[in-house]
Structure 1
Amino acid sequence: MGTLETLKLAGVGAGDEVVVPAYGNAEVARVVVELGAVPVFGDVDGGSYCLDPAAVSDVVTGRTAAVVAVHRFGRRAEAGRLREVGERHGLLVRVVEEPGTDPEGAEPGAVELRREHVTYLDSRLRGVRTPEAAVGHTYERYVVRVPGNGRPDRDAFARALRAKGVACAVPVPAPVYRMPGLRRDVVLPETERAVDETLALPVHAGMSRRELHRMVSMCNALGGLLSPAF
């Protein structure tokens, strides 16, 4: 059952508030708006990029009816802690897959190859912060942080990699609360930092070890020019 149907069956509607992640896709927030309810943006955990249960507690009000969390980049949201928050406040909690991903559809061999690539990158990349390890992480996207003073450093880093043929991408270009039709006058620090610093590097199963080594060499050469901000 989809998020829209779940919220409808729970009676969520006009005047209700639904806590949603501030970092990631806008689809969940737009579903809330479609119901006539109000999306309230919660900050994310800086390691998982998923909705932070503590941040949910910070934004719950008497009008809050539900929480919708999203698994991000193959990392699972903290469903247990989120449900504890929900039980404490009497809220519906829904945890969904990231739009556009199909974790059940990948061939097992492809997933294992991707994890091998991740292990190689984790052990060799310097000058960027590699993804936080977690049980069950499938690395749908391999998202690093580029240290420095925010977006100009990350964007310059990305341009230099693309110029050498590395298909990197900024995974989330703006907080959801700055997107058209969803604008709110809030600033959430972990979300802002994640938007400014994150970069997705290619890690698909078809990559050769030579391609991975070349990407590592380029990243390390660029990263060495930046001052770590960890």
Structure 2
Amino acid sequence: MGTQQKLATAGIGPGDEVVVPSFAGPGPADAVRGTGASPVFADIHPGSLCLDPASVAAALTSRTSAVVYVRLFGFPLDLTALQSLAASRGLLLVEHSTATPADDPERRRANAAYFNARLTGVVTPVTGPGGRHGYHSYVVRVPGNGRPDRDAFARALRARGVPCHVPVQTPVHRLPSYRRELWLPETERGADECLALPVGSDLSRRELQRIVSACNALGGPLPAAAA
């Protein structure tokens, strides 16, 4: 059952508000709008890149009926805190499922562990309790002056033969169809700094070494004009 159907089955519709992440695709917000309810955007936790329970709590109003969360990039978010918050306010808690890679998850984790131990100049993903992470995407942060440095770093990697992409180009609350006069600092920072590197199970050891060498050779963020 999809997110919209789950919400509609619970009786959520016009006049209701549903808290969703802005640092994600528009799918959760679209599902909320499809019921006639209004999406309300909350910020992310800087480590998990998933909904921050504290920001969710701050976004609640008397009209809030549900919270929709996403396990973005495979990180095991703080579900316990969200469940406790939802239970205390009588809210429906719904997971918005996203497509996961159709390859060997253990190999992806092994590739991610290789990167975690060797990459320098970027901030590698944090893991959950016990080192848990699905690594649906391997998303690093490029420190520096935000988007210009991240984009220059990405161009330099591509020039060295390393495919990479920006996982969230524009937060949903900045899209024309959902424009809000809203400041979500961690969401904005994530959109400016995050970069997804290849991590698929089809990568050979030589390819892993090449990715690490290319990243580390850049020595961290580059001036926007350097690449």
Give the structure-2-normalised TM-score. 0.93
Matched with 1:223 is: 219
Amino acid in the other structure paired with 2:203: M
CA shift digits 1:66-118 (9 cap, x unpaired): 00001110112322211111111111111232x2325xx54xxx222211111
Matched with 2:51 is: 51
Select 1:162's aligned residue among 155, 158, 165. Answer: 158
Measured in 2, the distance between the counterparts of 1:166 and 1:204 equals 13
Amino acid in the other structure paired with 2:35: L
2:120 is equivalent to residue 132 of structure 1: no
Is the contact made by 1:66 and 1:93 (CA closer than 8 Å) also made in structure 2? yes
Residue aligned with 1:154, SS:
helix
Matched with 2:117 is: 123
Per the alignment, do residues 72 and 61 of structure 1 end up closer, same or farther by CA in structure 2, a change over 3 Å counting?
Answer: same
Calculate percent identity across the aligned residue pairs.
53
Measured in 1, the distance between the counterparts of 2:158 and 2:126 equals 24
> After superposition, where does 1:19-58 map in structure 2 within 5 Å?
19-58=19-58
Is the contact made by 1:67 and 1:92 (CA closer than 8 Å) also made in structure 2? yes
Measured in 2, the distance between the counterparts of 1:13 and 1:203 equals 40
Select 1:114's aligned residue among 103, 108, 121. Answer: 108
Residue aligned with 1:132, SS:
coil
Per the alignment, do residues 224 and 60 of structure 1 end up closer, same or farther by CA in structure 2, a change over 3 Å counting?
Answer: closer
Amino acid in the other structure paired with 1:129: V
Structure 1: segments with no counterpart, 5+ residues: none
Amino acid in the other structure paired with 1:166: V
Cα distance, 1:225 vs structure 2: 5.4
Matched with 1:8 is: 8
CA shift digits 1:163-220 (9 cap, x unpaired): 1111100000011101131111101000000000000000111111111111111111
Measured in 2, the distance between the counterparts of 1:116 and 1:83 equals 31
Give the structure-1-normalised TM-score. 0.92
Matched with 1:68 is: 68
Matched with 1:152 is: 148
Residue aligned with 1:66, SS:
strand
Matched with 1:173 is: 169
Q: RMSD value over aligned CA atoms?
A: 1.5
Residue aligned with 1:7, SS:
helix
2:100 is equivalent to residue 101 of structure 1: yes
Measured in 2, the distance between the counterparts of 1:20 and 1:92 equals 12
Is the contact made by 2:23 and 2:44 (CA closer than 8 Å) also made in structure 1? yes
Is the contact made by 2:171 and 2:187 (CA closer than 8 Å) also made in structure 1? yes
Higher mean displacement: 111-120 or 152-161: 111-120
Is the contact made by 1:42 and 1:52 (CA closer than 8 Å) also made in structure 2? yes
Residue aligned with 1:171, SS:
coil
Is the contact made by 1:127 and 1:226 (CA closer than 8 Å) also made in structure 2? no
> After superposition, where does 1:193-212 map in structure 2 within 5 Å?
193-212=189-208
